[in-house]
Every structure is written in C-alpha cells, then in structure tokens.
Structure 1
Amino acid sequence: MKKFWVVLLSVAVVALALFVYFRFYFVFGEGVKSGELNYVVYKGVLFKTYEGKLIQSGIRSKTAGSIQSYEFEFSVDDEELARELMLQSGRTLELHYREYFGALPWRGFTKFVVDSIVAVRPLSEELPSGM
C-alpha cells in the first residue's frame, strides 16, 4: 500500500511540474509587432515590472458604430531594454516578442514579453510631408 502512495505522489508531482512548465514557461509563439510606442512604465505593488503599450496602425470595431485602434500591451523582463524603450516613446518601432499561455507576477502583467527592438523608424520618416 505504501508503494501505491509513493507512485501516486510521484505521478502527481510530475503532472504538476509539466502543467506549470507549459502554462508559464513554454513559449507558445513569437513574432514582431510594429507600431507607435505609447508608453513603457515601471509599476506594481509586490512585484515591480515594466509594462508597455504599442499602438498599431489601422482601426477595428468591437461593437457596431464604434472605432478603436489596435493596441498591443506587453511586458518587458529586461531592465536595460525597458529603459531603452522609455527613451523611444512616441516613435514607430518594430518589437520582437514571446507569447506564453499565462503571465507570472514577477515577469509582468501580460502573457506577451518583448525581448528586443528589431527596428526604430527614423524621425524623418515619421513626420508628415511639409513639416
């Protein structure tokens, strides 16, 4: 009977470890998003994390008669990258991100984690002609 409980407990521990890995550490997807960096902030109560928002070009409608821009909310777990993004606020950027199935409090509020800046559009390309 003791052997049964040891095996059952071992299976439960392995199942829990696999669940935690796939839920919080397995990279489900990755890609690049482009848009105007709205903000990057350092916030949190117990775990301070860097959170940001990228406004993508185009519009969409969640309900009939309303218009809303595409917003990409993300977390940044690298302090140096977050500080660089803070300096680029308001500019058009291409950001590489990793997507997880779930968020961890010490990694950020979102399941999207930006890990690098792919490109920064020069200011001369961002200004409308005639300015």
Structure 2
Amino acid sequence: MESTYQSPQKRSGKFGKIFSWILIIALLICAGYVYYKYYFVFGEGVKSGYLNFAVKKGNLFKTYEGKLIQEGFGSAKTGTGISSNEFEFSIENDSIFHVLELNSGKYFDLHYKEYHGVLPWRGNTRYIVDQVINMK
C-alpha cells in the first residue's frame, strides 16, 4: 500500500522553488523601476537663451551645473509677479563645461536629455545637457 505522506524534504523543495521565483520576479521589478526612474530618457530637446553661469560644485560628487536665461517672461513661482524663464541644468562632461565656462553671457542653443530622477554623480537636476548646438 502506498503512502500519501510527503516527506518534509519534498515540501521544502517546493517552497524553495516558489520562493526563488518570487525573489527573481521581485528583483526584476526593482531593476526595471531603477532603470525607468534613473536611466530611461523621458524626453530630449533644445533650449535657447543666455548663459547665466556654469559652475562645478558638490560635496561628495563634483558635478557641472548651469543656468540659461530664456527670452520672454513667465509667471513667478509664488505670488502673481513676473519673472524671467530660467532653465537650470547639469552638464554631461567637462569638454562641454569648458565651452560654456569660457563663454558665459553668450546666447546658446543647448541639446538636453530629461530623466525622471536625479542621480548624485550625474548632477543636481533632471536635465542633462549633452551637446552645444549653436553659440552666438
């Protein structure tokens, strides 16, 4: 007569397989989220304006940052006043930074990529300038 009793060893084997599949699926979901949040390019385009500043700053990670003042006016963030349109960005590499640093105050057309999240070693903003298209 056959016994329907399963040994604890077989039960733990099934539990181990289920647990390992759940763990693999959870890791894949986490990896997908990290990719989407920090490495997926959400948008890209060109911004034009006068370069206000380009600086290298940071406590732990030294990154290149800049600000472009665009023509026209927008509404202020608080209140009902008027302010200039500003585009704050991070700079991808030092060669682009040196071009911007030496030509502060000039009119630039800058190509940028927009990400969903900020990585401390990539810069302080979601906008990363990767190319200088035109300078006047």
For 1:89 and 1:103, locate their aligned partners in 2 and report how far apart those are by CA, in whole Å: 25
Distance of 2:97 and 2:75 partners within structure 1: 31
- Aligned residue for 1:89, secondary structure, equals coil
- Aligned equivalents of 2:74, 2:131: Cα separation in 1: 27
Instruction: Report what 2:39 is aligned to.
Output: 25
Matches within 5 A, 1:1-131: 1-62=15-76, 63-64=79-80, 66-121=81-136
Q: How far 1:70 sits from its partner (Å)?
A: 0.3
Structure 1 CA distance for aligned equivalents of residues 51 and 92 of structure 2? 17
Task: Map Cα deviations across residues 82-111 of structure 1 (whole Å, 9 max, x no partner).
Answer: 111101110000000000001100000000
Per-residue deviation at 1:60? 1.3
TM-score normalized by the length of structure 1: 0.89
Distance in 2, matches of 1:43 and 1:93, equals 22
Q: 2: CA distance between counterparts of 1:120 and 1:48?
A: 26
Paired residues, number = 120
Which residue type is aligned with residue 10 of structure 1? I
C-alpha distance in 2 between matches for 1:38 and 1:32: 17
- The percent identity for this pair of structures is 50
**C-alpha distance in structure 1 between counterparts of 2:63 and 2:33, whole Å:** 24
CA distance in 1, matches of 2:48, 2:60: 31
Greater gyration radius: 2
Tell me the residue number matched to 2:7. Answer: none
In the alignment, structure 2 segments of 5+ residues that lack a partner are 1-14
- Equivalent-residue separation in structure 1 for 2:133 and 2:92 (angstroms): 17
State the one-letter code of the partner of 1:27: V
